[in-house]
């Protein structure tokens, strides 16, 4: 019985390629687990396990000491077997969460994704993926192309909390080289943005990954601004792009049509939104919202379905834009 338990623990100590572990390292870890074994016993066990088709493990052969690893394309050992619920979760992760994962992690999960496919084929969830979908809330655009070497450096820098040097080309500007302090990644529509600071400055910037021309990892530790938390930064509306670069709440009053009235009753602009009748075809909507460029884009998207009544400054801005559009199209 002890041998069987030792075999399982030994198999769990062996990483998947390209990582590996030496025989003496396995021995040390087993001894720390209170197994009374010597080097020859561990060597014998490893040879026995690697000879079985059940356990696709191999060694480096030409190194001293030998280093052991699970073969890269081997299916992960399942004890207990992956449940159908777990298989469905892995499949959904493969479909929708894969871009969020570092490349090294994605590679190590391939075996689990393959195993999930096999498990789903044997279950009642076999056709579930064909019955669910995700539709973007905006015009679907092709994703921006990112240099693979840049992506690899950015993920490694984030994982290790290290800075990197990179050439970045902002819109309508010449490329410049910076030392980047990476703070986090934000996936917005079909683009990935690196939230970061530059050199030793503390002002936080948003850098589109597809605008990086190259990147090289540094050995300098990341400088994080005091009290910076990525989720707080997002929650404060930084990716909604506040007007004049500062957060300000406004009382928005809109004249909306029947369609928009129904839509905004179902999905309100804010918790204390109010809608009242103006006439048979129009309604007054009142809501307290943050004044952002994203709000402006949203208001424009409905054309004549929305009329901005207040605040006056916003109404005047729309009036000027209408005049410019009229001049453009007449």
Query: What digits encode the pLDDT tens for the residues 43-86?
Result: 998 988 888 877 888 889 888 899 998 887 666 665 566 788 88
Of the candidates 220, 221, 196, 224, the one whose C-alpha atom is nearest the C-alpha of residue 208 is 196
Of the candidates 186, 290, 196, 195, the one whose C-alpha atom is nearest the C-alpha of residue 237 is 290
Q: In the structure, what pLDDT confidence band is assigned to residue 6 with cuts at 50, 70 and 90?
A: confident
Same domain, 165 and 230: yes
Give the CATH number, domain containing residue 280. 3.30.70
Same domain, 12 and 54: yes
Torsion of CA 290, 294, 299, 301, to 10 degrees: -170
> pLDDT at residue 23 above 90?
yes
Last residue of one domain, picked from the residues 235, 255, 286: 235
The per-residue pLDDT for range 100-155, each reduced to its tens digit, is 777 766 766 777 788 888 888 888 888 888 888 777 777 777 888 899 899 999 99
Same domain, 220 and 152: yes
Distances (CA, A) of 33 to 7, 15, 67, 165, 217: 12, 18, 20, 43, 37
Predicted local confidence at residue 262, as pLDDT: 93
> pLDDT at residue 237 above 90?
no
Same domain, 270 and 207: no
The secondary structure element, H or E, covering residue 274 is strand 274-277
The number of angstroms, rounded, from the C-alpha of 274 to the middle of its chain's C-alpha atoms is 35
The verdict on residue 304 lying in a domain is yes
Same domain, 251 and 325: yes
**CA max distance for the chain:** 90
Q: Which two tokens stand for residue 41?
A: 């016993």
The verdict on residue 77 lying in a domain is no
CA-to-CA distance for 56 and 42, rounded, in angstroms?
A: 17
Q: In the structure, what pLDDT confidence band is assigned to residue 253 with cuts at 50, 70 and 90?
A: very high
The verdict on residue 140 lying in a domain is no
If one counts the domains in the chain, the total is 4
Q: In the structure, what pLDDT confidence band is assigned to residue 212 with cuts at 50, 70 and 90?
A: very high
Give the CATH number, domain containing residue 20. 1.10.10
> pLDDT at residue 184 above 90?
yes
Same domain, 223 and 247: no
Provide DSSP, 203-246: --EEEEGGGEEEEEEEEEEP-PPTT--HHHHHHTTTTT-BGGGS
Same domain, 257 and 323: yes
The per-residue pLDDT for range 239-251, each reduced to its tens digit, is 888 877 777 889 9
Same domain, 227 and 251: no
Predicted local confidence at residue 144, as pLDDT: 83
**Could you tell me how many residues make up the chain?**
330
User: Is the sign of the CA dihedral 283, 288, 291, 297 positive or negative?
Assistant: negative
The verdict on residue 53 lying in a domain is yes
Same domain, 223 and 152: yes
The per-residue pLDDT for range 263-293, each reduced to its tens digit, is 999 999 998 899 999 988 899 999 999 888 8
Contacts of 162 (CB under 8 A, 6+ apart): 156, 217, 218, 219, 220, 221, 222
Give the CATH number, domain containing residue 164. 2.30.30
Residue bearing the bigger pLDDT, 61 or 186: 186
Determine the average pLDDT of the residues in 218-244: 88
Global pTM?
A: 0.69
State which residues form the domain around 183. 148-235
Contacts of 79 (CB under 8 A, 6+ apart): 8
Last residue of one domain, picked from the residues 217, 235, 253: 235
Angle formed at CA 38 by CA 32 and CA 44, multiple of 5 degrees:
115
The verdict on residue 143 lying in a domain is no
Determine the average pLDDT of the residues in 22-27: 93
Predicted local confidence at residue 104, as pLDDT: 65
Predicted local confidence at residue 239, as pLDDT: 85
CA-to-CA distance for 276 and 309, rounded, in angstroms?
A: 14
Same domain, 126 and 193: no
Provide DSSP, 39-103: HHHHHHHHHHHHTSTTS-EEE-SSSSS-EEEE-TTPPPP-SSPPPHHHHHHHHHIIIIIGGGS-H
Last residue of one domain, picked from the residues 219, 235, 251: 235
The verdict on residue 136 lying in a domain is no
Same domain, 248 and 284: yes
Q: Within 13 A of 105's CA, how many CA atoms are on the CB side?
A: 11
The verdict on residue 76 lying in a domain is no
Q: Check: CB of residue 285 under 8 Å from CB of residue 256.
A: yes
Predicted local confidence at residue 277, as pLDDT: 92
The verdict on residue 102 lying in a domain is yes
């Amino acid at each position: 019985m002890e041998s069987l338990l030792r075999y399982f623990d030994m198999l769990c100590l062996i990483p998947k390629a390209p990582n590996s572990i030496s025989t003496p390292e396995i021995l040390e870890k087993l001894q720390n687990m209170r197994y009374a074994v010597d080097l020859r016993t561990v060597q014998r066990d490893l040879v026995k396990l690697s000879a079985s088709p059940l356990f696709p493990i191999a060694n480096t052969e030409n190194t001293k000491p030998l280093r052991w690893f699970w073969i890269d394309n081997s299916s992960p050992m399942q004890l207990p077997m992956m449940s159908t619920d777990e298989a469905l979760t892995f499949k959904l992760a493969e479909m929708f969460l894969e871009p969020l994962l570092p490349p090294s992690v994605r590679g190590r999960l391939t075996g689990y994704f393959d195993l999930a496919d096999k498990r789903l084929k044997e279950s009642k969830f076999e056709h579930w993926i064909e019955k669910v979908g995700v539709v973007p809330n905006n015009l679907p655009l092709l994703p921006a192309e990112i240099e693979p070497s840049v992506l690899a450096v950015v993920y490694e820098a984030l994982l290790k909390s290290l800075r990197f040097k990179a050439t970045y080309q902002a819109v309508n500007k010449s490329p410049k080289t910076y030392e980047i302090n990476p703070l986090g990644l934000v996936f917005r529509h079909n683009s990935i943005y690196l939230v970061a600071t530059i050199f030793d400055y503390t002002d936080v910037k948003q850098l589109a990954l597809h605008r990086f021309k190259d990147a090289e990892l540094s050995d300098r530790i990341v400088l994080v601004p005091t009290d910076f938390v990525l989720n707080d930064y997002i929650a404060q509306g930084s990716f909604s792009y506040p007007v004049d670069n500062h957060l300000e709440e406004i009382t928005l009053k809109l004249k909306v049509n029947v369609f928009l009235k129904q839509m905004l009753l179902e999905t309100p602009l804010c918790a204390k939104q109010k809608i009242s009748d103006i006439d048979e075809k129009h309604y007054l909507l009142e809501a307290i919202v943050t004044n952002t460029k994203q709000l402006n884009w949203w208001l424009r998207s409905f054309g004549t379905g929305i009329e901005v009544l207040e605040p006056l400054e916003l109404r005047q801005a729309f009036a000027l834009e209408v005049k410019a559009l009229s001049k453009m199209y007449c």
